[in-house]
Structure 1
Amino acid sequence: MIQELLFFCGLLGLGAGSTKDPTAAPPFQTVDIVLDCSYVGEDPRGLQGAFGDLFSKDPATLVLRDISVRDDGSLGEVTDYKVLQENADSSPRIVFEASAPLVSIPHAESLLHADCNREEVNCEISPYDFQQHGKGPCPASWFMGTLRLSSGISIALVLRGPHCSSGPEDKPDAILHPKLRIPVSKKGTVLTTVEFLSSSRSTSLRTHLGGLVTLDCHFALVPSSLLSSLEWRRQHRGSGRRLFRYQAGSTGPTVEPKVRVDLPQLLGNGDASLNLQGVSVADEGTYICLVSTPQHQIQHIIQLQVAEPPKVRVIPAQVSFERDVTTTLTCDIAGYYPLDVSVSWTQKTAEDEAEITLSSTRFSSHRQSQDGTYSITSYLSISSAAVQAPATYSCHVSHVALEEPISVSAYLKAPEKTGSEGLVGGFIATVIFVVVLFIVLRRKRTVKPKSEQLLRASE
């Protein structure tokens, strides 16, 4: 199977160099999408355990036949999938061939290119009947296929298998699958059709407070089937609550505040998405989209997480160096959710090549505000005996709502001139004054004798 996928990816690469009009819409092409799966069914031994029936898990393959996908020029010459003969030593693989002539498979491009894009696909197939499949020699030939991509896309398919026979006299030439005990094709595959499907773009969402978030849920039915009901539920910490319910034939949907489902879109194209306005911490939880027909039911589970980034400030932003004084810097981290937050302090002086992490910090207890967000304060004490100014002290905060940590700094200014430096300056000024005074007095003494000699000569 791995070699087939690598060969298939190579085929996709061969067609990538074709030249096409970049403005034209990509044409559609029908392809077979092949997925490695597991078939999960009841243990044929019928053993009862402490927690109910035991289940067996067998290797399986799901082949979605003739699925229409957009061809952006990378498909190339893709051939149809052919069922391979199993090795005698390998476990028998159950091959399900599923056609979808009346419904469109969502996210077909993502499924087709998953292996080439190194995206993991989890596929499980299990027996299914909304009305409890029958026991005995003729089990119900309905199956549920669940596809989950590592990107978050989830798809659920209700597959209608061949009609089982109640005894060999009904179809004496029918070949029954050794495990499923239902008719198989001449190639030994189980032929099915997609009767009902539902999908979601993401199984997990993260949003900020006060915003608008859309929980994606779509479905498609064959024309012979009708929507019976749509229900959205929320579960959190052991409690559940219904947010929206539409029942076919009712006067109108039952809706909780803050939520909205576009009813025309629901009935027109199967868009069952839930819009949640003004998100709060209380809206966090597990959301279930439950779509039902008179015969079947599919649900999608979406985890909604609230993540609000913190606001950070350092007080004071600038401080002067003073001898024999201990200064405390305060880092205030407020308005974040969820609770987990990481805070650290660093120091950097002119002599440091890199920031130095400090450990002598203190923290307040967590505080929770009315909107559910948290706050905490971190303190850093700076002793003049152990620091060298100028220096920069930074508070670093990491949180799940931040793509990268927030850093806010305080600046420690160099010390002012001390009293000893003033005395030196005063002494120099005094010396200059004395020298100048000495020169002036000396000149006066030189001028006075000359004036006395002139006075005597005149006499």
Structure 2
Amino acid sequence: MLCPAHLQADWLSATILGLDGGLALSTVARAATATIHPHVVLSVLTETVSVRCGLGEPVLLDCRFWADPSSPLSAGGFAVEWRYQFRGQGRLVLAYDGKTDRLAPGPLEGAALDFAGLHAAGNASLVLQEAEARHSGTYICAVHLPHLLAQVTVELEVVEPPSLSISPSPLPLAAPGQVLSVRCEASGFTPLPLELSWEFLGADGAPAALGEASLSGHREAWDGTYSQSSLLQLDTSALGRGGGLVCVARHRGGTRRSKVALEVIGFSAPSIQDSMAMVGMALLLYGIITLAFRNITGSDGARPKEKDQ
């Protein structure tokens, strides 16, 4: 196979990453033999090296390219290919031949290119209509000219915090010393891991210590999201008159809380309101007794004076 005359040169390839991780550039340059002045023939750029989004959100993976129109290689047309890699597995997202205007779609539904922008401005950005958990991974944007290739990579992370539910809800009335089984279910989150814990706030707002809860394993749903549950054996003997029971989920997508009220009936110790009422009643009784005593004392002191007269 004969090599085209234009390829008889020194070829240089370079990849440049921005200091803040927000830009990546890949270039292919040609330098005439025995010269030190390379000339860029093809360059590919992205300003979204790392993208983070939530479930169901539209996603734009930026990729733009420039090809030297004066190069004979540009006359042969260009091709764009997006590929996806995750956990060692790779697959084609889509491929487009700009010379024949043919698109080869991959198995990833909802992936598209802006073909008008692709030909007019070299905009090869990939658009995902709705982000799913399975879309997280590494995306490779590769641009081909005849005999040349330049590519950049984009990391996409789909992050969704969990939805929480506590059962039973509402909690039943409890007696002092009774043990309640309470479950907190976290669902619809991605990625792993997740931290589940319990908090208890007394009637006065003070936190109280709780025993250890048992944690289930992760379960993966059909859409690639995960669920996990925590089971708490709640001993009410040290919880006073009750308060609020809170399930706390800490995740990369944020912290979520779900709260239910707990009421302990038949608790012997008086509340603050009860104590204040008892003090008020005692003062009232003291005042009545004091007034009655003074009246009695005054009546007894007046009788001897009448006898003396």
Same-fold status (TM-score > 0.5): yes
Take 2:240 and 2:103, find their aligned partners in 1: how far apart are those partners? 69
Aligned residue type for 1:383: D
Count of residue correspondences = 256
Question: Which one of 337, 344, 363 corresponds to residue 190 of structure 2?
Answer: 337
Q: Secondary structure at the match of 1:321?
A: coil
Q: Write 1 or 2 for the structure with the bigger share of strand.
A: 2
Aligned residue type for 2:145: T
* 1:243 equivalenced with 2:112 (yes/no): no
In structure 2, the partner of 1:361 is 213
Take 2:70 and 2:139, find their aligned partners in 1: how far apart are those partners? 29
The percentage of aligned residue pairs carrying the same residue is: 28
* 1:386 equivalenced with 2:238 (yes/no): yes
In structure 2, the partner of 1:144 is 13
Give, in angstroms, the shift of residue 359 of structure 1: 4.2
Give, in angstroms, the shift of residue 416 of structure 1: 4.5
| CA offsets 1:256-295 (integer angstroms, 9 cap, x no match) | 3421111121111000011122333333322111101124
Give, in angstroms, the shift of residue 322 of structure 1: 0.9
In structure 2, the partner of 1:153 is 23
| CA offsets 1:194-223 (integer angstroms, 9 cap, x no match) | 332111112222233333211110011222
In structure 2, the partner of 1:348 is 201
1:173-184 matches, within 5 Å, as 183=35
1:425-436 matches, within 5 Å, as none
1:15-26 matches, within 5 Å, as none
1:17-416 matches, within 5 Å, as 140-149=9-18, 150-161=20-31, 163-165=32-34, 183=35, 190-225=36-71, 226=74, 227-256=77-106, 257-315=109-167, 316-350=169-203, 353=206, 355-356=207-208, 358-402=210-254, 405-416=255-266
| CA offsets 1:85-118 (integer angstroms, 9 cap, x no match) | xxxxxxxxxxxxxxxxxxxxxxxxxxxxxxxxxx
**Cα distance change, pair 303–328 in 1 and its aligned pair in 2 (3 A):** same
Take 1:357 and 1:142, find their aligned partners in 2: how far apart are those partners? 68
Task: Give the alignment's TM-score, normalised by structure 2.
Answer: 0.73
**Cα distance change, pair 243–352 in 1 and its aligned pair in 2 (3 A):** closer
Q: Secondary structure at the match of 1:232?
A: strand
Q: Secondary structure at the match of 2:45?
A: strand
| CA offsets 1:232-273 (integer angstroms, 9 cap, x no match) | 112223332222212243252112342111112111100001
Take 1:368 and 1:340, find their aligned partners in 2: how far apart are those partners? 12
**Cα distance change, pair 417–275 in 1 and its aligned pair in 2 (3 A):** closer
Gaps of 5+ in 2: 269-309
1:213–1:276 contact (8 Å) kept in structure 2: yes
Take 2:133 and 2:49, find their aligned partners in 1: how far apart are those partners? 19
**Cα distance change, pair 417–336 in 1 and its aligned pair in 2 (3 A):** closer
Aligned residue type for 1:221: A
- Provide the aligned C-alpha RMSD in A: 2.7
Q: Secondary structure at the match of 2:120?
A: helix
Give, in angstroms, the shift of residue 343 of structure 1: 0.7
Aligned residue type for 1:415: I
1:441-452 matches, within 5 Å, as none
Take 1:271 and 1:152, find their aligned partners in 2: how far apart are those partners? 18
Take 1:359 and 1:218, find their aligned partners in 2: how far apart are those partners? 56
Give, in angstroms, the shift of residue 348 of structure 1: 2.5
Q: Secondary structure at the match of 1:358?
A: coil
Structure number with larger C-alpha Rg: 1
Take 2:209 and 2:28, find their aligned partners in 1: how far apart are those partners? 58
Take 2:50 and 2:80, find their aligned partners in 1: how far apart are those partners? 20
Take 2:234 and 2:99, find their aligned partners in 1: how far apart are those partners? 72
Give, in angstroms, the shift of residue 370 of structure 1: 1.6
Give, in angstroms, the shift of residue 347 of structure 1: 2.1
1:393–1:411 contact (8 Å) kept in structure 2: yes
Aligned residue type for 1:274: L
**Cα distance change, pair 212–345 in 1 and its aligned pair in 2 (3 A):** same
Take 2:25 and 2:57, find their aligned partners in 1: how far apart are those partners? 27
| CA offsets 1:405-446 (integer angstroms, 9 cap, x no match) | 11222222252488xxxxxxxxxxxxxxxxxxxxxxxxxxxx
Aligned residue type for 1:387: L
1:319–1:411 contact (8 Å) kept in structure 2: no
Take 1:370 and 1:276, find their aligned partners in 2: how far apart are those partners? 19
Aligned residue type for 1:154: A
